[in-house]
Chains A and B, each alone.
Chain A
Amino acid sequence: MNDSHYCPHTPEEISEMLAAIGVSSVEELFAPIPAELRAKPLTIPAGMSEFETFARMQAIAGENTQGMTNYIGGGFYDHIIPSAIDHLSGRAEFYTAYTPYQPECSQGTLQALFEYQTAICRLTGLGVSNASLYDGGTACAEAAMMALRVTGRNKIVVDASVNPFSRQVLKTYLFNLDVEIVEIAPVNGALDRAGLAAVLDETVAALLVQNPNFFGTIDDFTDLAQQVHTLGGLLIASVYPVSLGILKSPGEMGVDIAVGDGQSLGNPLSFGGPSFGFIAAKKSLIRNMPGRIVGETVDRNGKRGFVLTLQAREQHIKRHKATSNICSNQGLCALRGLIFLSLVGKQGLADMAVLNRDKAEYAKARLAAIPGVKVLQSAPTFNEFTISLPKPAAALVEGMLKEGITAGVPLCDFYEGLENALVVTVTEKRSKKEIDHFATLLEAALCN
């Protein structure tokens, strides 16, 4: 019997193959599995055609509310995705290949990853980038573990205005290790320098900060880098890549390791993934980097080519002494990130960052003009800002969902005493008309 086009053999071919093997049935090949261990039949439903499968998937997608207007971020951002990205990353030579273990027949992936690493280095102002990690949160955890290895210390200090999900991931990664995580609460949506100074000492492996932070506040960490370095520790900064179109780069601040989530660079929201995490560091830290790294070299004829390099750091060689357990990366998503950055380009990324900030500043002024609404932070913001409402944000957000608007991320689940605070995100995709409509609805909701 053969009714599946994904298993191509005809009954005759199967007979020929069984004869070549010297068995009489396929079942005989499963003889190594003791009879008493054999499974009861699967209970999952019978299969279906491709047409029916796609219809089922359409029905599932249809059970989500369509066409929401987004004012939410929290690590994933609703940005433009130029059409060329889907077409190029949709080339099967890219997406049906695997890890470029054989460089001669994988130069497409390898050169693209080298170009990706270059883009990340230039964006962050640092000397080495790997070929991508899983996401922004796991990149924070990998950076922290890297700092533990580099310094031989066992304490990480975290500014609590770093994305709460990323902080939770960090805690999960480290919970069974002998590592102390100290969190310092932010003040008015900004990092508490005095609070940090009080806990930074010569036992701290790294300080983890974020720019812009979860409240949307922009900072310059140059002073913190100096402070941490004096104590022999490292500074890790999580950054939002689109903001680096204009904001001071981690390298310029003296940051040792920069990480972030690359979703905003040409990857769809896709209910949370796949995206990619990026990690870049000072060149001197290269041997402690996790994950794959592509390097330039030459072939036997002196021609330039690219290979996976410094593999002695990795799990398939070093096993339990590896710099990380990571094996796969998010190659295709990183490729999308590279294509996005190359298409938008040098001036385009700066223009896009300015456009994001202009839209957000317009929205900020419109919302702050509503009676009872105040902007929480006094410091500058990028494309997210925090407002404090005259009533709890959670109920308001729930009400706005019914209007087809995700009004922002309420901070009540993440920070004590901020029940009325709402983080609002405005990207280049939001029009003035949409923002005006949002402000009108918000005002009406607050008057009720």
Chain B
Amino acid sequence: MQLIYEKSIPGRRGVKLPASDVPSAAALPAHLLRAETAGLAEVSELDLVRHFTNLSRRNFSVDTNFYPLGSCTMKYNAKVLENSAALFAPFHPMTALLPGGEEFCQGTLGMLHDLGLLLADITGMDEVTTQPLAGAHGEMTGILLVAAYHAARGNKAKKKYVVVPDSSHGTNPASAAIAGYEIITVPTAPYGDMDLELFKKAMTDEVAAVMMTCPNTLGLFNPHIKEISDIAHSHDALMYYDGANLNAIMGKVKPGDVGFDVIHVNLHKTFGTPHGGGGPGSGPVGVKKALIPFLPQPRIIKDGQGLFQLESKRPGSIGRTANFFGNFGVMAKAYAYIIMLGREGLVRASEQAVLNANYIKERLKPYYDLPYDMTCMHECVFSASKQLAHGVHAIDIAKFLIDRGYHPPTVYFPMIVKEAIMIEPTETESKGTMDAFIEVMIEAAQMAETNPQALHDAPLTMPISRLDETKAAREQNVCCMA
């Protein structure tokens, strides 16, 4: 498809601006002005609508295709959430920050406050900040809170390390690095969890925090989690919970109950808000009492009269992590999701997410290698190692699935599984959809033996075939200059 710039005709316009009802201002000095107007598109509204409508048709999405992308929780996004967020479009965030402005924003401030309470209940934490803008941003915020906690106790110089399992999301070590920490990586044991003995050896008083995803990226709940927390705490290290996999455990176990001190949640995963082709997300952070003094500001508090106020001048706070109050529109959707499902609905969501993942795991086990063969939580991780014997890689199976109308599972993650295929069906998929997917996965396994070339050739039904990624990286054509 042509780029929108290739469809441009000089002089064409897509929108009429309001007519000016004021005099023209005196011209600005020439040295402040650009030499030429920026080379934006010049198209009519219809040209543009057709362009983007046709572009959209080149995407797979949850609404058009089963999308079992592991670790991403691609559940159905209820339409009422979109309508709910739109109600808040006109509210300027600066209004709340004006003198006396909170009074005019009681709805939005109150919703953020209430969302914090709901998330605190689900996660077992004492207070939640809604400021972080995505999961990784929440991780960074959480680790900065850890840093502030240790600094306040006079241990800034002493605390040098953050411990992560080798199955962790890449954002964990990357976020800890922004906070100035060095990383200690603990290998995974054959039983699928962080190796407990190696963990004990890694722990010293110089460790600031242990970052865990539980269930981990293999989809396994670590039964030793309490013991791990106790060991960490004995070294004055805090426990960080990466909430990426929270969809597995709502109402079943609260991270705060098992020793975690800080958690981020991904509203765009667990709480049903759409992923937007890569964002916006939202990553609220919950903490235990000891960390409350360090939370970002402004902090939303409820005063004696029941009014919501902003508290902006606490000396211990790590400051602002975002310009305003976080991705409010995303939080409005998550809030609507939580109140709509309610306590029973959230528990059922986790139960059926786990049921669906185990169903797919059991059905596909005869055909694909399952390196950690045990009850999984919300996702299961296979390896294409059996297929590799026939020269077929995980990526080939992924591309074959595209031809059959399925968005592929996550492949090559977690890195500790060779040729990983990570499947997360989520609770919103029907048995019929999963059965059809399972049949196609079985077909792919059989084709790996009988006709591997067909898998190498896939996909054949898309607007494009496999792309030359090396050429993209070498030539670095990342924009089309006018």
Contact = CB atoms under 8 A, between A and B. Distances in A.
Interface in B428-477: 428-431, 459, 462-469, 471-473, 475-477
B324 to A, nearest CB: 3
B200 to A, nearest CB: 19
B88 A61 contact: yes
A232 interface: no
Interface stretch (B230-238, B343-351, B385-393): B343-351
Interface in A236-267: 244-249, 252, 261
Interface residues of B, number: 211
Nearest to B83: A54
A299 B472 CA distance: 11
B14 interface: yes
B459 A38 contact: no
Interface in A98-146: 98-109, 111-115, 117-123, 125, 127-129, 131-132, 134-138, 145
B98 A295 contact: no
A6 B345 contact: yes
Nearest to B313: A413
A4 interface: yes
A97 B40 contact: no
Contacts of A283: 476
B223 interface: yes
Given A84-B49, A268-B89, A345-B12, A128 B478 contact: yes
Contacts of B466: 104, 299-300
B101 interface: yes
Looking at A9, A322, A329, A335, which has the most chain B CB atoms within 10 Å of its CB?
A9
B399 interface: yes
Contacts of B118: 44
B249 A13 contact: no
Given A84-B48, A129-B478, A136-B323, A248 B21 contact: no
A378 interface: no
Interface in A354-368: 354-355, 357-362
Nearest to A123: B38
Interface of B is mostly: loop
A88 B53 contact: yes
Given A22-B362, A68-B92, A299-B464, A343 B343 contact: no
Contacts of A4: 341, 345, 348
A274 B473 contact: no
Nearest to B268: A328
Contacts of A53: 80, 84, 336, 339-340
Interface string B86-120: 01111111111111110111111011000000100
B39 A346 contact: yes
A410 B326 CA distance: 22
A121 B38 CA distance: 9
Interface in A367-383: 380
B367 interface: no
B398 A44 contact: no
B170 A98 contact: no
A54 B69 CA distance: 29
Given A47-B342, A307-B469, A344-B14, A33 B223 contact: yes
B301 interface: no
Nearest to A268: B89
Contacts of A219: 32
B42 interface: yes
Interface in B311-355: 318-330, 332, 335-336, 338-349, 351-352, 354-355
A426 B144 CA distance: 37
A341 interface: yes
B168 to A, nearest CB: 8
A406 B95 contact: yes
A170 to B, nearest CB: 9
A93 to B, nearest CB: 4
B158 interface: no
B339 A47 contact: yes
Given A138-B322, A295-B473, A300-B465, A105 B59 contact: yes
B194 interface: no
Given A273-B324, A297-B468, A105 B462 contact: yes
Nearest to B156: A176
Contacts of A247: 28, 32-34
Contact of B349 (A7, A20, A46): A7
B45 interface: yes
A346 B354 contact: no
A415 interface: no
B121 interface: yes
Interface stretch (A183-191, A199-207, A392-400, A439-447): A392-400
B104 A64 contact: yes
Given A37-B257, A42-B122, 6 more contacts: A14-B355, A114-B478, A134-B279, A330-B279, A342-B40, A361-B26
5 contacts: A38-B252, A93-B64, A135-B322, A322-B177, A428-B18
